[in-house]
Structure 1
């Protein structure tokens, strides 16, 4: 186990008592915490103004800009967490992979990875060699952000190994990830080595964010919904566990009796401070059948997309796992008299789990009216069962 620096927001007591962190740790909160995936970005006019003339990956690697973009939705909406502004392919770019994000299309790779020789070419960059200097822009952006956030937690994130591998094999976005799934079965050695490499890249990216000040971390498996449970369990889950192992050992001592925390939550029976790990969340799209397996890779909480009701998700998870989600993003464009009852239904269903963090069942659509998100936050914070 590795203890976080005493100045880290969790160890210093700034965020350990926050609604978000305690919910991820399974403690039900009277006021449900809320944040939105892709809350930082295209739906905000201030983001579009700031990004004029700058490419996406350049913005991600500019610490001051990445920090400002992360902070924008926190200021505007009053959400309970910032989500670090970056992209899942950033660690690939830092590892020397030729990738660019094309507007309207997504990440596009100069050389797809489809053979064992291609994987060996990737392995020429050892993820273990990606040191503090490699991740310096990321760490600086996190430090700038947490200095402004104060008691509001920052969530770090990374793409799960399968999603990164799928992008690399396909060479860009895909609807069915057929090439990636073919490689999985046609060349098990190439697949295994590719998954190990992407797991260590993602894990290093996550660890850099947490050590710099993130109070939680989320692993996104955007494309895992294309897999069967058998394929996920055998060919993907071990790599996701490997990615999370890079941050699973990071712990902090809960400050004794921090504000708003019951004494029993902050100290052990012997009077010593309780030691907790940095909370980890695992989210996937179209992964209703994989929820239990996704939890078992080492996550503390599980994100649920809009397809599976939260009470059903909690049942599949044995009613013992905190859940996150899962307002349908399509509802954000509906009239308020339609959206509000939908949000309240999600909140009620979330009561079936030990704790619930309200979020969307996917990301904020770029055409979303920001005022609607602010109104949703106000509704959630004012809602009581």
Structure 2
């Protein structure tokens, strides 16, 4: 297997399994690699045992505990990547918003953004190492503990998704349209806020890669609700700038680039544009038709997209769903995943069936058996 050049002062073990990195780059793979969004988390009994009563953000700020939680699913399953245990909301907090309650019970800000004047309260040029150094420390530690077994994902929330949380206090209760209304009523302030978030996201990704992340994903969990017009006007240019900015900053630092994944949930209207936005991989939710996505995406690698509720199906039904998914996506330029995160009451044994089926059936397809 290929080894990777260390992006930091740390010397990391050679990589034993580079399937995901090869798939992301469009190189031939002997089987389809698989990982899961939210693969480290509440559905695993060992997660609850290790976390105990520690609050969510306190957990995120504990590198040793983050390392343990990140590696737990890699120990249990034959996964092809680990993803650092963290949260997309670390950036708004670093910029100055105050969390009123623990995100483990739903993130709610004490001081959400309600008008353009509120942007003055936000720190655009915060000291990223001082504010988010715990993430980077956890990445370096986890990369060391993985000892080259599989690559390590870093991640961030996309600017629009972060903006929505900052304005709507999503978990405080239904408040649809408030963030989209802000875009329409205050377009100049919206561009300003998205630009601030874009800069923070770019820096956050670069520091994660510098710390040891070997592939990164940008989660735009609420992209679809923008629709084609607002998405093209406000978010798509920002996503492009993030991909470009990360690569440029890494080049300036003499750090090798890593594959980048964009996951814009429900933005089915933008698959073609996203495939040309500078990312190596386009993630798909479960409402996307694989064959249609292939036609639109060209040669870019695709990731996804089994409905997470299929993990509640019987094991045989999960295997059948995997076969059907692989037939439609094919076995090359493809990374298997769910169409969103693992649901918290999912049976871990069913997750194992899904992962093993991906490997078994894709190997059979590649050998023609």
Common fold, TM-score beyond 0.5? yes
Q: Could you tell which deviates more after superposition, 186-195 or 95-104?
A: 95-104
Aligned length: 355
**What are the within-5 Å matches in structure 2 for residues 267-286 of structure 1?**
277-286=257-266
Structure 2 residue aligned with 1:172: 170
Q: 2:301 aligns with which of 311, 322, 326?
A: 322
Q: CA RMSD in A?
A: 2.4
Residue in structure 1 matched with residue 143 of structure 2 by the alignment: 146
1:264 alignment counterpart: none
1:225 CA displacement:
1.1
- Check whether the contact 1:57–1:101 (CA below 8 A) recurs between aligned residues: no
Structure 1 residues 240-259: aligned runs within 5 Å: 240-249=239-248
CA gap 1:210/1:7 in 2 versus in 1, 3 angstroms: closer
- Greater mean alpha carbon deviation, residues 321-330 or residues 203-212: 203-212
Deviation at 1:346, TM superposition (A): 1.1
Q: Give the TM-score, by structure 1 length.
A: 0.86
Give the Cα–Cα distance (whole angstroms) in 2 for the partners of residues 176 and 228 of structure 1.
Answer: 18
Q: Could you tell me the TM-score, scaled by structure 2's length? A: 0.89
Residue number in structure 2 paired with 1:260? none
Does the C-alpha gap of structure 1 residues 159 and 221 become closer, same or farther in structure 2, counting only changes over 3 Å?
A: same
Q: How far 1:47 moved relative to its partner?
A: 0.4
Taking the TM superposition and a 5 Å limit, the aligned residue runs for 1:317-356 are: 317-318=297-298, 320-351=299-330, 354-356=332-334
Q: Note the alpha carbon deviations across 1:99-140, whole angstroms, 9 max, x for none.
A: 255467521111121211111221xx133x424333321111
Q: Equivalents in 2 of 1:194, 1:75: separation in Å? A: 40
Name the counterpart of 1:267: none
Query: In structure 2, which of residues 336, 342, 349 is the aligned counterpart of residue 371 of structure 1?
Result: 349
Do the aligned partners of residues 359 and 10 (structure 1) sit closer, same or farther apart at CA in structure 2, a change above 3 Å counting?
Answer: farther
Secondary structure of residue in 1 paired with 2:129: coil
Deviates more, 1:224-233 or 1:36-45: 224-233
Are the equivalent residues in 2 in contact too, given 1:302–1:321 (CA < 8 A)?
A: yes
User: Which sections of structure 1, spanning at least 5 residues, go unmatched?
Assistant: 253-274
Shift in CA distance, 62/285, structure 1 to aligned 2, threshold 3 Å: same
Matches within 5 A, 1:14-29: 14-15=14-15, 18-29=18-29
Contact 1:15 1:215 (8 Å CA) reproduced: no
The match for 1:259 is none
Aligned-residue offset at 1:33: 0.4
Aligned 1:199-278 pairs, distance under 5 A: 199-249=198-248, 277-278=257-258
Identify unmatched segments of 5+ residues in structure 2.
none
SS at match of 2:219: strand
Aligned to 2:120: 120
